Amino acid sequence: MRIVVVNTQAPFVSGGAEEHARRLLEELRARGHQAESVTIPFNWASAEAIIEHAVAASNIDLSGFFGEPIDLMIGLRFPAYLMRHPNKAIWLIHQYREAYDLWDAGRSGLRNDPTGNLVRQIITDMDTKALSGAIRLYANSRNVADRLQKYNALKSSPLYHPPPLATRIRPGETGDFLYFPSRISSLKRQGLVLEALSHTKSEVRVIFSGSPDSARDGEMFQGRIAALNLERKAIWRGHVPVEEMLDLYANSLGVVFPPFDEDLGYVTLEAMLAEKPVVTTTDSGGPLEFITDGKHGLVVKPDPHALAGAFDQLFLDRYLARNLGRMARSRYDELSISWDSVIDKLTGAA
Amino acid sequence: MITVDWVSPLRPDTTDIAEYTVRVEKALSGCFSLNLITNENAGDLGTYRFDAGPFYNIGNDVRFHGGILSACQKISGIVIAHDFRIQNLLIARLKAEHDDWESAYQALMEQHYGREGEAAARHFIAGKTSLAQVSETFPGIEVAAANALCVITHNSGLVEELANRTGLYCFALPLPFPVCEYLPERQEAGEGPNLLIFGYLGENRGLDVVCELLREYPHIRLHIAGQIGTPRLRDMVEAMKAAGHSIVDHGFVTESELDRLVRDSDLVVNLRNPSMGEVSGSQLRIFAQGGLSVVCATGWYASLPDEAVLKVRPERMKQELGAIVERLRQDRRAFDAMRHAGRQFVATTHGLDHFATCFRALYEALPEALSHGRRVLLAKHMAKTYERAGAGDAISSETLFHKASLLL
């Protein structure tokens, strides 16, 4: 099949979504499809700009070029999936969350824009219309599928895929530190983990890795470590090479991942592959699809004291930590997460 | 309970729209909760809940609606057009915001009405035409509705015109007005008919016609309650008083005192020529108090039931008003059946329960109207994009709306 994978691009910004699209292309090509990537820039600097880009995307027809039809379009993100094609499959990484759950949570920048409410409603209408016209509608997690049901009344199925490091992650020793790999961002809530560390009673440490969303995020994070006198307990390694990340996963006591309403979160799946328990929170979204409290990790309220208790519990009971980690790995294996399954479903072969 | 953002002048603002909001709140209690936002706070995004609406109450007085006008031009919502002609508001707002308000006004009129609008603005600025004349062709409501999603009027006769002018869905709602079950007994005073004229008495209220009648019928006693709006009219009334005519100027009176004056008068003169297109809260008060009234047969007033109110044609106002006064002079109870019919009319078509029923029906129809409104606004947005690209003439507004409809 001739397939285009359409995605959104913010120039000079690259993260999990870009990696995800790149991997999808590779997997399609590996199965004999002619696959090409089409990206459009998306600038959400203002409510006005969002509509400009959405309208621009919706004007692009991808049904064919130079007399050759394109058999299938796979849309991943807003507003790229607004591009037009008669055979449109959607594998939703996420919608423009500031118009949906982040608006409801009072965390949307649109709320500060006089046209924000209107733009939010226009985005909702556009999404509903464009996504309801898709021949296949998948989300990359149950959490994302639930949002689509809640805000657009559209039914979709979660379609899980292996995380990028799936083939390289390995279990190792049970160390004396917790590992928190993620970009430094308010939505990932590294700040909450620092607050928790200031309340721990044991000698537990947390090693953070990941680049900050902005220089200011990085400065604020470092400043908070200093303000709470946590230099010994909180270690930030910044961006780390893959090999170092694999070692950190392998030799950690467990993985901390308490984001706010995460779409999916590779971190959870990678921790499970590394046989590590995951400490997450009741409002973290994606991780809760895989982690059950007391079975594959510890799920606590998004509260510093509750998190501190979970950290201490794992530090003081290594047997529990190892056991939860093994159960997490078993859970991952039960899910039969594979690229074969993903490609078959997206192309209609399954 | 559904919460709606309700942007309106509030008590103690001396406008009937503040009283209207009190009545709306009372009528809707139990089903809807109004998040009341004042004219002063209208521009503050933090005051909005955005569960629905916002509903913007627009009238023609900048003291009570200037902030609301600015807000509704920025934050899309539902415009309740209490006045159809709002040129006074537009100009007062421009004067407050621009040193060179004349240029701003011409630009605004051109933006909404093209070259003809710009020419009308120029003629008004040069003193060649009055604002009332400008308002006849260019009412100004399009400016308030430029960023709106739908429009509400209390004058069902304006629904079609408002929809045509704005391109939006337009709904009619009755003006809510409570009617008490029992009225105090009427007290007839003096010999001749007692006429009452009340409210803000501008040049369009027929005060000069009434004064002329007083000269022909010296036995008439005229009661004035409220404010005489222009120096010319004030001088005229003073001259009449000095000449010995029976005129009682009450000035501003309390609500209950006004109700008593309405009840006890033989005829309330409630003329509007020209009419600004509004539904008259004053007229509903007259009906509710069992008053007998005379109106001009124009606009909303023309639609009132003939058995409930006396009507005169604007071009024969003096003669026809004179005939009514003559009839009353002969028999003060000649039209008493109308008093009862008026009360019946206001109770059945403007009662609070009826208003609540109509509002609920409107609220159920809102999603479709708002969806249409968003398509209209998206089409306008796309038009700007074409204009920026220098291709504004390359695509019609119908095509743009069609394109927007494909997206939303």
User: Using one digit for the tens of pLDDT, what is the confidence trace for B96-129?
Assistant: 999 999 999 999 999 999 999 999 999 999 999 9
The confidence band for B66, taking pLDDT boundaries of 50, 70 and 90, is: very high
Widest pairwise Cα distance in chain B: 76
pLDDT, residue B299, reads: 85
- Tens digits of per-residue pLDDT, B1-17? 899 999 999 999 988 89
- This complex has an ipTM of 0.73
Q: Which residues of B touch A50 (CB under 8 A)?
A: none
Gap from B48 CA to chain A (nearest CA, Å): 10
Give residue A265's pLDDT: 82
Does residue B382 sit at the A interface (CB-CB below 8 Å)? yes
The structural domains of chain A, with segments of one domain joined by +, span 2-160+338-347, 177-334
pLDDT at B255 (0 to 100)? 85
The domain that holds B156 is classified in CATH as 3.40.50
In tens, the pLDDT along A259-273 reads 998 888 889 999 999
- Within a domain: residue B59? yes
Inter-chain contacts counted by CB atoms under 8 A, chains A and B:
46
Return the structure tokens found at B114: 């093209």
CATH topology of A2-160+338-347 equal to that of A177-334?
yes
- Identity (one letter) of the amino acid at A86? P
Q: Chain B 40-69, CB below 8 Å of chain A: which residues? A: 45, 48, 50
Asked if A114 is an interface residue toward chain B (Cβ–Cβ < 8 A), one would say yes
The pLDDT tens digits for B171-219 are 999 999 988 778 777 777 777 799 999 998 988 899 999 999 999 988 8
Mean of pLDDT values over A214-233 = 94
User: Among partner residues B74, B370, B371, which is closest to A114 by beta-carbon distance?
Assistant: B74
Mean pLDDT value of segment A276-282: 98
A135 and chain B in contact, CB less than 8 A? no
| Chain B contact set for A126 (CB, 8 A) | 407-408
| 3-state SS assignment for residue A308 | helix
At A213, the pLDDT band (50, 70, 90 cuts) reads: confident
> Could you tell me if residue B290 is inside a domain?
yes
Cα(B174)–Cα(B188) distance, integer angstroms: 32
- Check if the beta carbon of residue B338 is closer than 8 Å to that of residue B292: yes
Query: Does B381 lie at the interface with A, CB-CB under 8 angstroms?
Result: yes
Q: Are A103 and A34 in contact (CB under 8 A)?
A: no
- B218-267 pLDDT, tens digit each: 889 999 999 998 999 999 999 999 999 999 999 989 888 999 999 999 99
Q: Which domain holds residue B367?
A: 2-86+139-176+353-372
Residues B241 and B296 grouped into a single domain:
yes
In a domain? residue B249? yes
Task: Return the bridge partners of A300, or none.
Answer: A281
* pLDDT bracket for residue B276 (50, 70, 90): low
Interaxial angle between packed helices B397-407 and A47-58, expressed in degrees from 0 to 180 and rounded to the nearest 10 = 90
Same domain? For B171 and B207 the reply is no
pLDDT of residue A264: 83
| A129 interaction partners in chain B (CB closer than 8 Å) | 406-408
Residue from the list B50, B149, B408 with its beta carbon closest to the beta carbon of A126: B408
What string of H, E and C letters represents the secondary structure of chain B? CEEEEEECCCCCCCCHHHHHHHHHHHHHCCCEEEEEECCCCCCCHHHCCCCCCCEEEECCCHHHHHHHHHHHHHCCCEEEECCCECHHHHHHHHHHHCCCHHHHHHHHHHHHHHHHHHHHHHHHHCCCCCHHHHHHHCCEHHHHCCCCCEEEECCHHHHHHHHHHHCCCEEECCCCCCCCCCCCCCCCCCCCCEEEEEEEECHHHCHHHHHHHHHHCCCCEEEEEEEECCHHHHHHHHHHHHCCCCEEEEECCCHHHHHHHHHHCCEEECCCCCCCCCCCHHHHHHHHCCCCEEEECCHHHHCCCCCCCEEECHHHHHHHHHHHHHHHHHCCCCCHHHHHHHHHHHHHHHCHHHHHHHHHHHHHHHHHHHHHHHHHHHHHHHHHHHHHCCCHHHCCHHHHHHHHHHHC
**pLDDT tens profile B146-165:** 999 999 999 888 999 999 99
B261 lies in the same domain as B361: no
pLDDT for the residue B315: 92
Name the residue in chain A with its Cα closest to that of B50: A117
**Which residues of chain B does A114 touch, with a Cβ-Cβ cutoff of 8 Å?**
45, 74-75
Domain-located, residue B389: no
Q: Percentage of chain B with pLDDT > 90?
A: 75
Q: Which residues of A touch B149 (CB under 8 A)?
A: 118
Q: Which residues of A touch B408 (CB under 8 A)?
A: 122, 125-126, 129
Nearest chain B residue to A113 by CA distance is B45
> Are residues B364 and B248 both part of a single domain?
no
Which residue is associated with the tokens 């603005």?
B121
The mean per-residue pLDDT over the stretch A22-51 comes to 93
B96 touches chain A (CB under 8 A): no
Interchain contact B385–A (C-beta under 8 A): yes
Q: DSSP label at A349? A: -
Interchain pair B381, A58: CB under 8 A: no
Phi, psi of B160 (to 5 degrees): -65, -45
Q: What average pLDDT does this structure show over A20-39?
A: 96
Alpha-carbon gap, residue A350 to A342, rounded angstroms: 9
Q: Do A117 and B48 count as a contact with CB atoms less than 8 A apart?
A: yes
Interface residue B408 vs chain A (CB under 8 A)? yes
Shortest distance between the Cα of A131 and any Cα of chain B, in A, equals: 11
- Chosen for mutation from B68, B73, B149, B374 (greatest number of chain A CBs closer than 10 Å) is B374
Compute the mean pLDDT over every residue in chain A, rounded to the nearest whole number. Answer: 94
- CB-closest option in A58, A116, A122 to B374: A122
User: Does A232 score more than 70 pLDDT?
Assistant: yes
Count of alpha carbons within 13 angstroms of residue A277, beta-carbon side: 27
Q: Which of B299, B316, B350 is the endpoint of a domain?
A: B350
Please report the pLDDT score of residue B356 as a whole number. Answer: 96
Task: Give the pLDDT confidence score for residue A224 in this predicted structure.
Answer: 95
Work out the minimum CA distance from B76 to partner chain A, whole angstroms.
6
B392 inside domain: no
Best mutation target, A60, A110, A117, A127, to test chain B (most B CBs within 10 A):
A117
- Give domain status of residue B227, yes or no: yes
CA distance A256 to A313: 13
CATH topology (fold) of A2-160+338-347: Rossmann fold (3.40.50)
Is residue B98 one of the residues assigned to a domain? no
Quick check: A122 contacting B, CB < 8 Å? yes
Angstrom distances, CA of residue B104 to CA of A77, B73, B93, B101, B182: 43, 16, 11, 5, 53
Contacts of B382 in chain A (CB under 8 A): 55
* Residue B269 and residue B155 share a domain: no
CA distance B210 to B196: 10
The CATH number that domain A177-334 falls under is: 3.40.50.2000
Most B CBs within 10 Å, among A118, A128, A129, to test the B interface: A118
- Per-residue confidence (pLDDT) for residue B50, from 0 to 100: 85
Q: Residue B277 pLDDT > 70, yes or no? A: no
| B336 & B365 share domain | no
B19 and B164 co-located in one domain: yes
- Per-residue pLDDT of A308-339, as tens digits, reads 999 999 999 999 999 999 999 999 999 989 99
Q: Which of A46, A100, A123, A125 to mutate to test the interface with B (most CBs of B within 10 A)?
A: A125
Contact A122 B76 (CB under 8 A): no
Q: Is A118 touching B (CB cutoff 8 A)?
A: yes
Q: Is residue A111 a contact partner of residue A65, using CB atoms and an 8 Å limit?
A: no
Q: What is the CATH number of the domain that holds B319?
A: 3.40.50.2000
Torsion of CA B240, B241, B243, B246, to 10 degrees: 100
Chain B contacts of A117, Cβ < 8 Å? Answer: 48, 50, 75-76
* Helix A318-334 vs helix A304-316: crossing angle, to nearest 10: 100
- How far, in Å, CA of B297 to CA of B316, rounded? 11
On whether both B74 and B144 belong to a single domain, the answer is: yes
Instruction: Please identify which residue in the block is written with the tokens 């090693």.
Output: A207
Cβ contact B377–A52 (<8 Å): no
Confidence of residue B290 (pLDDT cuts 50, 70, 90): very high
Tell me whether A333 touches chain B (CB under 8 Å).
Answer: no
pLDDT given at position A10 = 85
- CA-nearest of A128, A122, A162, A158 to A142 is A158
> Which tens digit of pLDDT belongs to each residue from A66-119?
899 999 999 999 999 999 999 999 999 989 999 999 999 998 999 889 889 999
pLDDT at B275: 73
- Measured between beta carbons, which residues in chain B are less than 8 angstroms from residue A125? 371, 374, 407-408
Q: Are residues B338 and B293 in the same domain?
A: yes
The total domain count for chain B is 2
Inform me whether the pLDDT recorded for A1 exceeds 90: yes
Q: Is the CA virtual torsion B93, B97, B102, B104 positive or negative?
A: negative
Q: Is the CB of residue A61 less than 8 Å away from at least one CB of chain B?
A: no
**Residue B151: closest CA among B50, B76, B41, B94:** B76
Q: How high is the pLDDT of residue B7?
A: 98
Residues B166 and B199 in one domain: no
Q: Do B385 and A58 touch (CB under 8 A)?
A: no
Is the Cβ pair A118, B75 closer than 8 Å?
yes
- Our CA-based measurement puts residue B74 at a distance from the nearest CA of chain A, in whole angstroms, of 6
